[in-house]
Amino acid sequence: MSGAARAETRFQGAGVSPGIARGKVHVVRDDLDDVARYRIERSQIAHEIGRFEAALIQTRVQILEMQQKIAHSIGAKDASIFDAHLLVVEDRTLIDEVLRKLETDLCNVEWVFQEVATKYVETLSKMDDPYLRERALDIQDVMKRVIHNLQGKAPKPFLALTEPHILIAHNLTPSDTATMQKERVLGIATDLGSRTSHTAILARSLNIPAVVGLHNATDILETGQEVLVDGTNGLIIVDPKPETLAYYGELESRRIRVVAKLKELRETKSTTRDGHHIVLSANIELPEDVNAVSEFGAEGIGLYRTEFLYLNRQTLPSEDEQYQTYRRVAESVAPNPLIIRTFDLGGDKLAPGTVEISDELNPFLGWRAIRFCLENIGIFKTQLRAILRASAVGNVKLMFPMISGADELRQAMSILHECRDELRAAGVTMGDAIECGAMIEIPSAAIAADILAHEVDFFSIGTNDLIQYAIAVDRVNERIAHLYEPTHPAVLRLLKMVADAAHTNGIWVGVCGEMAGDVALVPLLLGLGMDELSVAATLVPRVKRAVQSITIGESRELLERVLKLQTPSEVLARCLELANARYGDLLG
Ligand code: PEP
Ligand code: MG
């Protein structure tokens, strides 16, 4: 069909990674959309039943293998969650219904099985009883496996694009995003998601324009359509008109000019106009992101999200593999610091196959990060030993995520000391003293920061989580994304408590959540007294320009004024006023 005949259409979402991309769409649909339906002869029924039985046996073997692996690596209790999956492949009612329907419908068995299993899933997921609703998820999981086996598909890697495309999906998990072929992804757009979802964070790190929260774009768009992604303003434009292309061409040239100017700041220091140095570091997710750290002029790494090492694999990373990775990253940023955050799996970052965290009703309030580590000390110690060994080269610091109080922090520190003593006794070389920090991302930790400050050398505030917990807004739920407000007076008060508690107790404090990369809020964070800001490497030049354009004096005045205000929008308006006056060109 000719593109000229089509009218331009627009979808509005939230822009989460700036920039413009143009190209053909590749719509990623759930694999099960691919299940073909075709008629069979009555004489073929026996053959279809044979295929079905073989697929059920194969599925059973796969589940048992997975169960054994988990029992071995994590524990029998966690492995028992697969008992429910085994029951599904043995469920006589379900199997008999498939056999009956094969006789009546005379269709291929994967289609018939999908029809029957989907009916079960729909019925069970409407039940009041949470146990029965859970069974719906079990059936869904097993259904995918059985159909994959019927189709002769191995659990396949996420997506193999043969040429550059704009990727459009209902949802992309952080593991999908981490494994996609980045050089073939021009832009990303998803129905779900929000600014602080880890998929958005990754897109920013990879410098790929991205729009999330489009609600139903995947229902409407077709693979092959021409689209333009405006990651700054959160727009997807389908079949853009020549005028639109001209407008965006102009915008992109302007953006490229601003980026080129910002590049000139690479070797300069992030020092305010009145001479205060603010440490400006980069956040990384994957070891290869390290090249961007010096390219964009960051002073080291303020947050290395090590959980990405555990995703998309069949076995846990060994101590040696982790050591080699951390060591390489530490060496490439030395003498600047590398702050390694111990792995934070759970929430929206799941690693099925290695770290099994069963489905939870509220995963962000669940078995996540340090909570998992303190119950899986073997896995935790492997990582801590690798970090301690890497501290022999470079300037390695370590921090613990999701600390909620002193007990947890003390336990984590005591396990760390145990690892250090064991390594020392074995004659392994380590750095003299490794600086240790706590991430402050749970309101209880912020409120009790004066207690926690005695236990560590620094605080790093994870505003992505701190804001979601403080306002009770799920950070990945686009329905309530408008309530996720970093300038909420309650958030400001929490940030102030943490900064004041750190300084009263003589330790330094930084912010490594996405709030630190919002140039409009930089003066506010400086006014609060933050010593360090850690942001996606690609945002470092912008934040540096913001720091260099203001004084600590005016930042403090701004803070004093906004602390008297009552609503997030009033606070934001004041921040924008100052930002506009000092570096308005960065805000567009
Ligand atoms: C945060 O919560 O702000 C943070 C930096 O950690 P993550 O985004 O990985 O949860
Ligand atoms: Mg966090």
Q: Is residue 339 located within the same domain as residue 445?
A: yes
**Those residues with Cβ within 8 angstroms of residue 317's Cβ, 6 or more apart along the chain or in another chain:** 309, 310, 325
Q: Which of 222, 237, 258 is the last residue of a domain?
A: 258
Edge-to-edge strands, sheet with 185-190: 9-12, 235-238, 226-230, 20-28, 165-169, 185-190, 210-212, 14-17
Q: Is residue 553 located within the same domain as residue 422?
A: yes
Q: Measured from the CB, is residue 512 less than 6 Å from ligand 1?
A: yes
Q: Is residue 217 located within the same domain as residue 306?
A: no
The structural domain count of the chain equals 3
DSSP for 101-170, please give it: HHHHH-B-HHHHHHHHHHHHHHHHHT-S-HHHHHHHHHHHHHHHHHHHHHTT-----S---SS-EEEEES
Q: Is residue 402 located within the same domain as residue 324?
A: yes
Q: Is 165 a catalytic residue?
A: no
The domain spanning residue 373 has which CATH number? 3.20.20.60
Residue 36 in any domain: the answer is no
Which of 167, 159, 165, 144 lies closest to 218, judged by CA?
A: 167
Q: Measured from the CB, is residue 541 less than 6 Å from ligand 1?
A: no
Q: Is residue 345 located within the same domain as residue 209?
A: no
How many A from CA of 379 to the centre of ligand 2? Answer: 20
Q: Is residue 139 located within the same domain as residue 233?
A: no
For tokens 């769409």, what's the residue? 25
Q: Give the C-alpha separation, 119 to 121, whole Å.
A: 5
* pLDDT of res. 69: 59
Tokens of 172: 């992309």
**Among 198, 373, 419, 488, which one carries the catalytic annotation?**
198
Q: Is residue 363 located within the same domain as residue 509?
A: yes
Q: Which of 126, 151, 176 is the last residue of a domain?
A: 151
Smallest-distance ligand from the CA of 284 = 1
Q: Which of 239, 258, 277 is the last residue of a domain?
A: 258
Q: CB–CB of 438/445 below 8 Å?
A: yes
Residue 247 in any domain: the answer is yes
* pLDDT of res. 585: 85
Q: Is residue 248 located within the same domain as residue 397?
A: no
Q: Per residue in 11-32, is it b (16+ CB within 10 Å) or e — as a string?
A: bebbbbbbbbbbbebbbbeeee
Q: Is 512 a catalytic residue?
A: yes
- 465 Cα nearest atom in ligand 1: 2
Question: How many beta carbons lie within 10 A of that of residue 549, not counting itself?
Answer: 18
Residue to mutate, 344, 404, 465, 515, ligand 1, most ligand atoms under 8 Å from C-beta:
465
pLDDT tens, N- to C-terminus, the chain (588 residues) = 344 456 899 999 999 998 999 999 988 865 555 677 888 999 999 999 999 999 999 888 877 876 775 566 445 655 666 787 788 888 999 999 999 999 999 999 999 999 999 888 888 877 777 677 667 767 877 888 888 888 876 544 445 667 889 999 888 877 677 767 788 899 999 988 888 888 888 888 888 999 999 988 888 888 899 999 999 999 999 999 999 999 999 988 888 888 888 889 999 999 999 999 999 999 999 998 999 999 999 999 999 999 999 987 778 999 999 999 999 999 999 999 999 999 999 888 887 767 877 778 898 999 999 999 999 999 999 999 999 999 999 999 999 999 999 999 999 999 999 999 999 999 999 998 999 999 999 999 999 999 999 999 999 999 999 999 999 999 988 889 899 999 999 999 999 999 999 999 999 999 999 999 999 999 999 999 999 999 999 999 999 999 999 999 999 999 999 999 999 999 999 999 999 999 998 886
The model's pTM is 0.75
Q: Give the C-alpha separation, 450 to 221, whole Å.
A: 52
Residue 351 in any domain: the answer is yes
Residue to mutate, 16, 194, 196, 340, ligand 1, most ligand atoms under 8 Å from C-beta:
196
**Those residues with Cβ within 8 angstroms of residue 361's Cβ, 6 or more apart along the chain or in another chain:** 130
Q: Is residue 390 located within the same domain as residue 450?
A: yes
Specify the length of the chain in residues.
588
Q: Give the C-alpha separation, 210 to 234, whole Å.
A: 8
For tokens 């790190």, what's the residue? 205
- 463 Cα nearest atom in ligand 1: 3
* pLDDT of res. 248: 93
Q: Is residue 409 located within the same domain as residue 439?
A: yes
DSSP for 336-395, please give it: SEEEEEPP--BTTB-BTTTB-----SSGGGSS-HHHHHTT-HHHHHHHHHHHHHHTTSSE
Residue 204 in any domain: the answer is yes
The domain spanning residue 189 has which CATH number? 3.50.30.10
Residue 37 in any domain: the answer is no
Residue 506 in 3-state DSSP? Answer: coil
- 283 Cα nearest atom in ligand 1: 5
Q: Is residue 279 located within the same domain as residue 351?
A: yes
Residue 2 in any domain: the answer is no
Residue type, 132: L
The domain spanning residue 53 has which CATH number? 1.10.274.10
**Structural element, H or E, at residue 87:** helix 83-89
Q: Measured from the CB, is residue 408 less than 6 Å from ligand 1?
A: no
* pLDDT of res. 383: 98
Tokens of 163: 């040429």
**Among 373, 419, 512, 575, which one carries the catalytic annotation?**
512
Residue 183 in any domain: the answer is yes
* pLDDT of res. 359: 75
Q: Which domain holds residue 76?
A: 42-151
Q: Is residue 515 located within the same domain as residue 392?
A: yes
Q: For residue 486, is the peptide bond before it cis, meaning its omega torsion is within 30 degrees of 0?
A: no
Residue 102 in any domain: the answer is yes
Classify residue 511 by burial, with Cβ atoms within 10 Å: 0-12, 13-18, 19+.
buried
* pLDDT of res. 87: 87
Smallest-distance ligand from the CA of 198 = 1
- 347 Cα nearest atom in ligand 1: 10
Tokens of 536: 């996606």
